[in-house]
Amino acid sequence: MRILMLNTERGWRGGERQTLLSLQQFQAAGHEVTLLARHGHELARRANASGIAVKTVAGPFAAMVYLLSHGRRFDIIHAQTAASMSWLAVLAPILGPRIVFTRRTAFPVDKAGNDPQALRPTLSAKEKRTLWKWRQATALVAISQAAAAEPRRLGLAVDIIGSAIDYQAPNPEHIEQLRQRYQLQRYTYVVGTAAAQTPEKDPATLVRAIHALYLRRQDFIFLHFGASGSETPALQGLIQQYGLQSCYILCGFQEQVQDIYRLLDVFVLSSRHEALGSSVLDAFVYKVPVVATTTGGLPELLGKNRGLACAVGDHMSMATAIERLLNEPSLREQLQHNAYEWVLRTHGVQSMAQQYLRLYERIVQPA
């Protein structure tokens, strides 16, 4: 099959990593793959380095021109972002039944409603527009039950294909550099997160949780890895307000993300919205016990004694859960074991790729 993947995000987050993993697997299986990505950004660079054919564009207009000129030569056109699905929806009458969209968020379609999940007699204008857009996809995929909830509420069929985790061997030299940079030898425990400093990740609750924990004990350091964002100024202000400058460290974006997990005793995620939580899957595969909120797809990951859960925005519950893991090594070991066995069984890269290829084949060769 000839497969075109669309992802024009500027950063490097879970969706971009999944895009690259998919392309690599499809190409290894003998398919012809091309990535349409934003010029000069991380996904395009990494795909090029992996030997993937990449077409870069500066923005939506250039992407639309490329799709009009070349789209019909591909058997499958797969949108990995909502923006790229919008372009494909407009061009669907020209491109024909070859469009796949993967939904990677669990946000309600219309946040203005008092209860976006509730059945209402009529759809809002925004819901109608989104429903029209999603209907232009030949197949609609969600990465979790939480991500599928809104399309299903609007009456659409959805395939669930979870994100994959690709185990990366440690880089001892890099890990040691990180240990020295943050003087980790001074602390008994290292707690941390990998999350962009954006509203849906709710870093303010995280700072408050670490402050509550710091009032109880000072034998740990908290490392916050992740790109800066709209919440960065407020986050920096809270760290200063609570006097956590020596405890809560903003480490910025980390390219070799797999190595940061080798530093941690506990991984924490404070998200308000999370379709799945690929950083939690990373923690599982690198055997780090997890504390996370019960939002979106996270309960699907934490269930059956794979992690400790707390309510969204409840910083005291989060602090207590972190302290419990620090105090109970047997609990840490139990969670590590359960999560590691589960993630290897359910979120392998080859399994994800095979599910997508079977879906593609249904489109290319319908019964």
Considering only residues 136 and 167, tell me which one the structure prediction assigns the higher pLDDT: 136
Question: What whole-number distance in Å separates Cα of residue 61 and Cα of residue 292?
Answer: 39
Question: What whole-number distance in Å separates Cα of residue 57 and Cα of residue 212?
Answer: 46
Give the pLDDT band (50/70/90) at residue 115. low
E strands, the chain, where? Answer: 2-7, 32-38, 53-57, 76-79, 99-103, 139-142, 159-160, 189-194, 220-225, 248-252, 266-269, 290-293, 308-310
Share of the chain above pLDDT 90, in %: 87
Residue range 309-335: mean pLDDT, rounded? 98
- Amino acid 113: pLDDT: 54
**Which residues make up the CATH 3.40.50.2000 domain(s) of the chain?**
2-164+348-364, 172-346
pTM for the model stands at: 0.80
What is the fold, at CATH topology level, of the domain defined by 2-164+348-364?
Rossmann fold (3.40.50)
Residue range 285-304: mean pLDDT, rounded? 95
Question: What whole-number distance in Å separates Cα of residue 139 and Cα of residue 85?
Answer: 12
Give the pLDDT band (50/70/90) at residue 118. low
- Amino acid 255: pLDDT: 82
- Write the DSSP string, 257-320: HHHHHTT-SEEEE--S--SS-HHHHHHHHTT--EEEES-TTHHHHHTTTTSEEE-TT-HHHHHH
Q: Is the pLDDT of residue 114 over 70?
A: no
Phi, psi of 348 (to 5 degrees): -75, 150
Residues forming a β-bridge with 139:
100
Q: What is the pLDDT of residues 211-240, one digit of tens each?
A: 999 999 999 999 999 999 999 999 999 999
Share of the chain above pLDDT 70, in %: 97
Q: What is the pLDDT of residues 22-55, one digit of tens each?
A: 999 999 999 999 999 999 999 999 999 999 999 9
Contacts of 167 by beta carbon, 8 Å cutoff, 6+ apart: 258, 285
CATH class of 172-346: alpha beta
| Segment (H or E) for 214 | helix 203-216
